[in-house]
Amino acid sequence: MFQNFTQYLIEKFHVKEPDVALIPELVQEKYISSGTFLLKPGEICQHTFFVEKGLFRLYSLSENGKEHILQFASENWLLSDRDSVFFKEPSKFYIEAIEDSILIPMDEEIFRKIAELSPNFSKNNEILLHNHIRHLNQRINLLLSASAKKRYMEFIKLYPDLQLRIPQWMVASYLGITPESLSRVRRDLASNT
């Protein structure tokens, strides 16, 4: 129970082994079935979720009815609309489970407790935020400069595991192209190899 979560606290926040035993009293795991929404536009995201097991997507719906996936989150990832949680503002996004999953919802209370148990919580937190920023910058750079084919190749290099669990049309949505285009890109790659 919580193996991933406790391991995460030990690795990323340097919580000591004995203190980790306190965790089960603080949090409660939540079973989510595929297709369930954790968040819809207009709602304020109340939790940052730790993904103990399963897979989620965070996406926006544009005026013309098209979905655009901004993030996937699988095991050992934190999942939330960071802006909505942090600034307590209504979200513009959907968060949906795309596999049967197990989550640890975390609120401010729990973060405070973790902060007590972590020798340097705010530094560790800062590292996570910077990692997030680095990742977003790389994605922007790719969207500005790379073709659909190149973006796809980067995607499978970066997420070789995810690629097998996600329907292809969601990969297309993440890359900012249509499923048809992705299908053609894949055909090209297969033939020119």
Binding site for DNA (CB under 7 A): 147-149, 167-169, 176-187
Chain Cα centroid distance, residue 32: 15
Quote the least distance from Cβ 144 to a second copy, whole Å: 4
Residue with Cβ nearer DNA (4 or 163): 163
Answer whether 25's CB lies under 8 Å from 124's CB: no
189 touches a second copy by CB under 8 A: no
Rounded Cα–Cα distance for residues 137 and 18 (Å): 38
* Sequence letter at residue 85: V
Q: Which does residue 16 touch among a second copy, DNA, none (CB within 5 to 8 A, set by kind)? A: none
86 touches a second copy by CB under 8 A: yes
190 touches a second copy by CB under 8 A: no
Rounded Cα–Cα distance for residues 69 and 59 (Å): 4
The H or E element that residue 51 is part of is: strand 48-53
Structure tokens at 189: 């790659």
Rounded Cα–Cα distance for residues 99 and 145 (Å): 32
Residue with Cβ nearer a second copy (95 or 102): 95
Residue with Cβ nearer a second copy (4 or 181): 181
Structure tokens at 78: 């934190």
Instruction: Starting at the earlier edge strand, list the strands of the sheet with 94-97.
Output: 37-39, 94-97, 55-61, 67-74
Q: Which does residue 167 touch among DNA, a second copy, none (CB within 5 to 8 A, set by kind)? A: DNA
Interface positions, 49-68, toward a second copy (CB under 8 A): 60, 62, 66, 68
140 touches a second copy by CB under 8 A: yes
Backbone angles phi, psi at 10, to 5 degrees: -70, -45
Torsion-angle region of 118 (φ positive above 0: left; ψ -120 to 50: alpha; else: beta):
beta
Rounded Cα–Cα distance for residues 81 and 60 (Å): 11
Quote the least distance from Cβ 83 to a second copy, whole Å: 4
Quote the least distance from Cβ 104 to DNA, whole Å: 25
Quote the least distance from Cβ 153 to a second copy, whole Å: 13
Quote the least distance from Cβ 66 to a second copy, whole Å: 7
Question: Under the rule (CB under 8 A), what is the footprint of a second copy?
Answer: 60, 62, 66, 68, 70, 82-83, 86-87, 92, 122, 125-127, 129-130, 132-134, 136-137, 139-141, 143-146, 176
